[in-house]
Structure 1
Amino acid sequence: MLLGEMAPALLTARFQESVTANALRAYLAEFISTFFYVFAVIGSAMASRKLISDAATDPSSLVLVAIANTFALSSSVYIAANVSGGHVNPAVTFGMAVGGHISVPTAMFYWVSQMLASVMACLLLKVTTVGQHVPTFTIANEMTGFGASMVEGVLAFALVYTVYAAGDPRTGPLGVIGPLAIGLMAGAMVLAAGPFSGGSINPALAFGSAVVAGRFKNQAVYWVGPLIGAAVAGLLYDNVVFPGQAASVSGRGNSEGIGL
């Protein structure tokens, strides 16, 4: 009976922590950073299609998007790191939640902020470019949905593992190197898998473009794989590679009241 009474009380306490002033600032920080990240990545894909006649098969288009991904993610993580931890990605948030570095209610609010920001960024691009087609993430014809999901899972694993390592207090202060390392890893993963699975790595990125374009084919690929890869990365880092760490790797910023 006592356990039955404790569970609702714990859930209520967690929810209250997720609606404090600090928590609301964290959600706003996630919205802003995710908005600019998605705007840069999707915008770069749209720009390449406008400047290159056959962007789908031109290697320079892939390089352009990878560079935009690197710069945008590094900057987006940096500007939000001291407030929300700079997740900018539902997969990163999921990995942190599975590892116990962020509460489930807070993670859900992070997801809402990230996905809303992605939709708004893609919508703004569509409106301001006078209805130009908003590209969505697609898998190669020779790949299956399962194979593409596995590829996206590996990409997310690499990204979230880098996030954990960059935010580990035992490696010293985050500074500028941490966000840069995260961005470089994302850019490298886009170069490696872009032509095969699309190289989204970020469920919010794929979701926002799909909503605005009205095309949800293979959308599960960009959720199932990355979420599993992120969870495995977080659990592996905390429990196998660097077990028994003293401080939260996601506590790079102000963690008071936001369940970090």
Structure 2
Amino acid sequence: MPVARIAVGNPGEASQPDAIRAALAEFFSMIIFVFAGEGSGMAFSKLTNNGSTTPAGLIAASLAHAFALFVAVSVGANISGGHETSAFALSSGVSSWNAVVFEIVMTFGLVYTVYATAVDPKKGNVGTVAPIAIGFIVGANILAGGAFDGASMNPAVSFGPAVVSWTWTSHWVYWVGPLIGAAIAAIVYDNIFIGKNAHEPLSTNDF
């Protein structure tokens, strides 16, 4: 991806009303997502006497995160573009490097889906299903990787719970993996499928 095509902005934009509204929209959308996703795990654990790590608990977490992200993206898309999407821990027998690979693969799938359904200028009517597609891929990834490393796919999702619980063991995994996976997906999709076509700014009609 050519560096010239990366929009960085400038410090003065931070005080603009639109930027402030977008930041607040992202903040509230992330609260919705993290509260519903992590809260579902806590509720399931309470109702099943710490059974959140069972197969049923994994399915419950997957559905809760999928639904919550669908809503978070939907409510934030018309203002900020909807970029969202317990402390995470590695399961026994899963090394930090195994977890990094998991996070790279899962985040690649998530960001690739975002590009295909929300960013690609040629997406057409597919953009209308972007929120549910993004929610579904997160839910599917949790089913695939949740039992191994918690399936974060987003540093913000793992950082908040880590601060609250003050649990930092292998926390670097949840930064390195998603950042690498997202970068690979962006480079691949941008250069192969979007190519030289100019990026078009998202509008309220894109979702």
For 1:62 and 1:141, the matched residues in 2 are separated by 16
Q: Does structure 1 conserve the Cα–Cα contact (< 8 Å) formed by 2:104 and 2:180?
A: yes
Deviations 1:138-186 (A, max 9, x none): 1112111111011011111100111111112311156541100000000
2:122 to 144, 153, 170: 170
Q: Quick check: which has more Rg, 1 or 2?
A: 1
Aligned letter for 1:148? A
Aligned residue number for residue 208 of structure 1: 160
- Shift in Å, 1:217: 0.9
Size of the alignment, in residue pairs?
A: 196
Q: Report SS of the residue matched to 1:169.
A: coil
Change (3 A) 1:184 1:66: same
Verify the 8 A CA contact 2:44 2:52 in the aligned structure 1: no
Residue type of the alignment partner of 2:203:
G
Partner residue of 1:63 out of 45, 59, 63: 59
Structure 2 counterpart of 1:146: 97
Question: Normalising to structure 1: TM-score of the pair?
Answer: 0.71
Deviation at 1:15, TM superposition (A): 1.8
Distance 2:121 2:193 in 1: 15
- Cα distance in 2 for partners of 1:175, 1:149 equals 30
Which one of 129, 137, 148 corresponds to residue 185 of structure 1?
Answer: 137
Q: Which residue of 1 aligns with 2:111?
A: 160
* 1:89-104 alignment, distance < 5 Å: 89=85
Which runs of at least 4 in structure 1 moved beyond 3 Å after TM superposition?
A: 173-176
Matches within 5 A, 1:33-44: 33-44=29-40
- Alignment-mate amino acid for residue 17 of structure 1: E
C-alpha displacement at 1:252, in angstroms?
Answer: 2.2
Secondary structure of the equivalent of 1:137?
coil
The TM-score, its normalising length taken from structure 2, stands at: 0.89
Aligned to 2:5: none
| 2:42/2:52 contact within 8 Å kept | no
Which structure would you say has the larger RCO, counting Cα contacts within 8 Å and 6 or more residues apart?
1
Q: 1:253 aligns to what?
A: 203
Secondary structure of 2:196 counterpart: coil
CA distance in 1: counterparts of 2:108 and 2:78, whole angstroms = 23
Which whole-Å CA distance do the structure 1 matches of 2:78 and 2:32 have between them?
17
Distance in structure 1 (CA, Å) of the matches to 2:203 and 2:194: 21
Gaps of 5+ in 2: 1-7
- Counterpart AA for 2:179: L
Is the contact between residue 52 and residue 61 of structure 1 (CA under 8 Å) also seen in structure 2? no
One-letter identity of the residue aligned with 2:151: G
The one-letter amino acid of 2:111's match is V
Assess, with a 3 A threshold, how the Cα gap between structure 1 residues 16 and 57 changes in structure 2: closer, same or farther. closer
Query: Partner of 1:71: helix, strand, or coil?
Result: helix
- Do the aligned residues in 1 keep the contact of 2:65 with 2:135 (CA within 8 Å)? yes
Identity of aligned residues (%): 43
1:238 touches 1:245 (CA, 8 Å); kept in 2? Answer: no
CA-to-partner distance for each residue in 1:221-254, whole Å, 9 max, x for gaps? 1110001100111111011233112224xx3237
What are structure 1's unaligned runs of at least 5 residues? Answer: 1-10, 90-134, 255-260
Q: Whole-Å Cα distance in 1 between the matches of residues 103 and 168 of structure 2?
A: 17
The residue type equivalent to 1:83 in the other structure is I
